[in-house]
Chains A and B, each alone.
Chain A
Amino acid sequence: MDDWPGGQRIVRRLIVRRVLWIFVVVGALGIATLGSPVWATHDVRLSEDVSRTKHNLSSNPDIMATGTTEVCIFCHTPHGANLAASTQAPLWNRLLPDDTSYEVYESPNFDAQDFTGIHRPKGVSLACLSCHDGSIAFDALVNLPGSGGFVPTNLGFGRGPGTSTNSINFFGGAIVDGSKTFTEGLRDVTEVEKTSESPFSGGLHDLVHGGGGSEGSEPFPNLGLDLRDDHPIGMEIPCLTDAQFNQICQDLTTLKLDGGTDGTSVAYISRTSPQQKLVWPMEKRDRLRAYPSTDQPGRYYIECASCHNPHTPRVSFLRLPSGVPGLVDKDLSPSDTAGNPTGKMWGQIPNAGSAICLSCHAK
């Protein structure tokens, strides 16, 4: 927490409160608690805790899988993984979408580079889109839970729902359709933050279901194949042509913030000068990141996971802002739109002040 001094007072108070609670609980239950490990509470200060996010498809009431209690299996497998997306989707356990199917972002102002000339989703973004473009079934897994469930037809790239399996059933019809992909149709529900929830609850706020009228899951979490209405991905950071990115590019290309030297590792984004880097998240999983190009070493791309961390219990699966001049380094606790302190931490409202956007964009 050292990198968020504004949160220290809150944290200290919580520590005191937690210690008091420990005394109360131990006193009340006595021996009943002996031998029971303390399971981490849902806490947005944890960078990652996927079991307690809606990416736990065994527990998410909107996509509830009933054939397994496993969590990791919906994306990863320890053996027999899909190697098609290079190696940027670690031990990937799903059919990957064909990258030629998308309509991609464009704009007269858009200076982004891409050596292919077509800003197709790459690497880790294809892994995200394997659920979030709504075309591939949630259970199009390569290696099913347990033994004896290897489905080689889900290896490689494909299109369509993939080979779904009957051993994993879903309920939660609001956003899962008969082909076990996201339901098509626009959402008509505007959700607000549930103030009654624990101050530590993050990723649970934006459950998809719960509205009246016609329900759907577009444009999020089902982005569809038309990505023109989304921030570009598979996009090389326009270091040469757009001055607003000078600072982050200088750091990415000269300082090698990942500590690597070959341009083949994930790198981290910060707009602060090297002397000010301590204001970026101490935990590197919270840092905004740029992905290397396997074809052009030394060049860095923005992909879905540049801003999103699929394992984090935070709102919208966001990483945390990174060294925005005059914001993060001077005002270390987020304010509301009127400039009043919210009493929350960046971990609870990561994009307060649009600090995530401004972590890359000098706007």
Chain B
Amino acid sequence: MQLNRKIVMLIAGVLVLAVPILGWAKHMAALGNATGHPSPYPASVAAEDIKNTLHNLSTSNIVAGINISGNPANQTAEVCVFCHTPHGANLSAPGATPLWNRTVPLNSGYIIYGSPNFDGANSGQPQGVSLACLSCHDGTIALDSLINMPGSGGFRPLNLNPATAATTSLVQPAGGSAFLNGSNQMNSAQRTDTGPNYLAITGGAAPFPNLTTNLSDDHPISMQIPVTDPQFNELLANSPPADASGLRLLTRNPGSVNADKRDSLRSYPGVDRTPGSGYYIECASCHNPHAPRPMFLRLPSRYDSAMSLASGGGASTTADMGVGGPIELIADDPNAGSLVCLSCHQK
């Protein structure tokens, strides 16, 4: 009798345990080959697809009006060449600017961000990958100030030095446009368009994409994540360690770094580019210049489980005053709920 009861208990125990184990196995099977933390993003959304972005400045851009390679004598359908070259690259901003094919601005003369609340340790002037971005986006260097032109025979060593840099007549004939001035730099006049059409850049390019050299109205860059500001405690505690190159992926939630690191918010090492030299926020901490996403944003590392990842509209929720409103696909609207901002800021 005693034995029978034990057997019954054993069978019952096995059954109780089997249900969740089988469920778990089924779940893992559904994940397929995914390892580690499953990506919340549909596989069909590519992290990078430069050709289908505003950064495709060539004649191969499928979006009319963005092709600035408009000089009939010199047009190119190449995409990468506007920033990168396989040979003869600019070494003046090494590290975070791989095989850089453009004139790099001097890291001086910028007006940088400041505030009485600001605990960040500014490096003082833009550094590293941010200088690469600013080589177009501060409006002082021609968009076609390339080191190595498409094809053979177009090496322009003068463009290695910002003091002697010049246009290469790759871009449109002189005369400018709403977007570019006669020197093929971004226009400095203020934008006046108020519509939602992001292609309609009329009346100027400042303050974006031409940030100008006054960066005091922009989120600070080349800024060390401030260990003295408690709002960043969560970020520093939960972000995984930096990799061998000093790149550190950022998240406020343990274990929620995006599966594809190209989508992940990140910090860069200090100006000497050596791991351990600090964790700096640069332009590319939030932006991925190759991503076919609005505003070239990376994706939040923090998302509300209540926020559906399904595309399309949905009922808004106000129950907990949390992230409500229309439900959006995060990959389509990366900053829905300001989640990119809130991935670092505990606000």
The chain A residues found within 8 Å of chain B, CB to CB, are 30-31, 34-39, 42, 46-54, 56, 58-61, 64-66, 68-73, 76, 78-83, 87-88, 90-91, 144-152, 163, 165, 167, 203-204, 264-266, 283-285, 291-292, 311
Contact = CB atoms under 8 A, between A and B. Distances in A.
A186 to B, nearest CB: 25
A58 B337 contact: yes
Given A31-B23, A69-B336, A148-B193, A88 B116 contact: yes
Contacts of B211: 79
B115 A90 contact: yes
A38 B326 CA distance: 21
A304 to B, nearest CB: 14
B292 to A, nearest CB: 13
Interface in B299-347: 302-306, 316-318, 320-326, 328, 333, 335-338, 341-342, 346-347
B207 interface: yes
Given A80-B217, A146-B198, A64 B318 contact: yes
A51 B302 contact: no
A48 B337 contact: no
B333 to A, nearest CB: 8
B207 A79 contact: yes
A37 B323 contact: no
B218 A30 contact: no
A79 B201 CA distance: 16
17 contacts: A35-B38, A39-B304, A52-B322, A65-B325, A66-B326, A69-B337, A70-B335, A70-B337, A71-B341, A78-B286, A81-B217, A83-B217, A87-B116, A148-B201, A150-B194, A150-B207, A150-B208
Given A79-B208, A79-B211, A30 B20 contact: yes
Given A69-B328, A80-B208, A49 B305 contact: no
Contacts of B151: none
Contacts of A36: 305
Given A144-B194, A149-B194, A69 B324 contact: yes
Contacts of A61: 318
Interface in B61-120: 113-118
A38 B303 CA distance: 9
Q: Which size class do B's interface residues fall under?
A: 35 or more
A143 B196 CA distance: 11
B6 interface: no
A292 B116 contact: yes
B115 A38 contact: no
Contacts of B306: 39
B322 A59 contact: yes
Given A88-B116, A285-B230, A35 B37 contact: yes
Given A37-B302, A149-B196, A69 B231 contact: no
B13 interface: no
Contacts of B4: none
Nearest to B118: A90
Given A49-B347, A152-B191, A284-B230, A264 B116 contact: yes
Contact of B219 (A42, A66, A79): A79
A59 B23 CA distance: 36
B164 to A, nearest CB: 30
A344 B18 CA distance: 44
Pairs A-B, 7 closest by C-beta atoms: A147-B198, A80-B207, A69-B325, A148-B198, A71-B338, A59-B324, A81-B217
- The secondary structure that dominates the A interface is loop
Interface of B: 20, 23-24, 27, 37-38, 40, 113-118, 190-201, 207-208, 211, 216-219, 230-231, 253, 255-256, 286, 294-295, 302-306, 316-318, 320-326, 328, 333, 335-338, 341-342, 346-347
Nearest to A41: B320
A145 B196 CA distance: 9
A291 B117 CA distance: 10
A70 B306 CA distance: 15
Contacts of B256: 37
Contacts of A59: 316-318, 321-325
A191 B73 CA distance: 73
B347 A50 contact: yes
A37 to B, nearest CB: 4
B119 to A, nearest CB: 9
Given A61-B318, A91-B217, A150-B191, 7 more contacts: A31-B20, A38-B253, A69-B324, A72-B341, A87-B114, A87-B116, A151-B194
Contact of B192 (A78, A82, A152, A291): A152
Contacts of A30: 20, 23-24
Contacts of B27: 31, 34
A285 B231 contact: yes
A309 to B, nearest CB: 10
A147 B53 CA distance: 13
B294 A147 contact: yes
Nearest to B301: A37
Nearest to B218: A79
**Residue from B192, B195, B198, B322 with most neighbouring chain A CB atoms (10 Å):** B322
Nearest to A151: B194
B336 A70 contact: yes
A53 B320 CA distance: 9
A138 B41 CA distance: 33
A88 B286 CA distance: 24
A64 B318 CA distance: 9
Contacts of B323: 51, 56, 58-59, 69, 71
Nearest to A305: B117
Nearest to B28: A31
B321 A73 contact: no
A60 B321 contact: yes
Nearest to A87: B115
A96 to B, nearest CB: 13
A265 B342 CA distance: 24
A147 B171 CA distance: 24
Contact of B218 (A49, A81, A204): A81
B294 A146 contact: yes
B325 A54 contact: no
A339 B116 CA distance: 39
B305 A37 contact: yes
